[in-house]
Amino acid sequence: MKEVRIYDQEKYDWALDSALKALSREDKKAFMNRIWDMSVVSNISQTDILYMFA
């Protein structure tokens, strides 16, 4: 697994928490918005972030 640098840990944690909540209630639009937020603050591709949830 490649090492990534997260530029804003607080925003990343918020986006991850929000994504998990959206996923648990199956709110796909909110989930994908949080995935996008996570990719912005961490410079990880959206595809790689989605693999974390798989």
What are 22-47's pLDDT values in tens digits? Answer: 888 888 888 888 888 888 888 888 88
Please give the pLDDT value at position 37.
Answer: 87
Look-up of token digits 């972030």? 49
Sequence-separated (6 or more) residues with CB below 8 Å from residue 51: none
First-residue to last-residue Cα distance in the chain: 15
User: Is residue 4 classed as helix, strand or coil in its secondary structure?
Assistant: coil
Please give the pLDDT value at position 6.
Answer: 66
The yes-or-no verdict on residue 1 having pLDDT over 60 is: no
Position 11 confidence tier, pLDDT thresholds 50, 70, 90: confident
d(CA 17, CA 30): 12
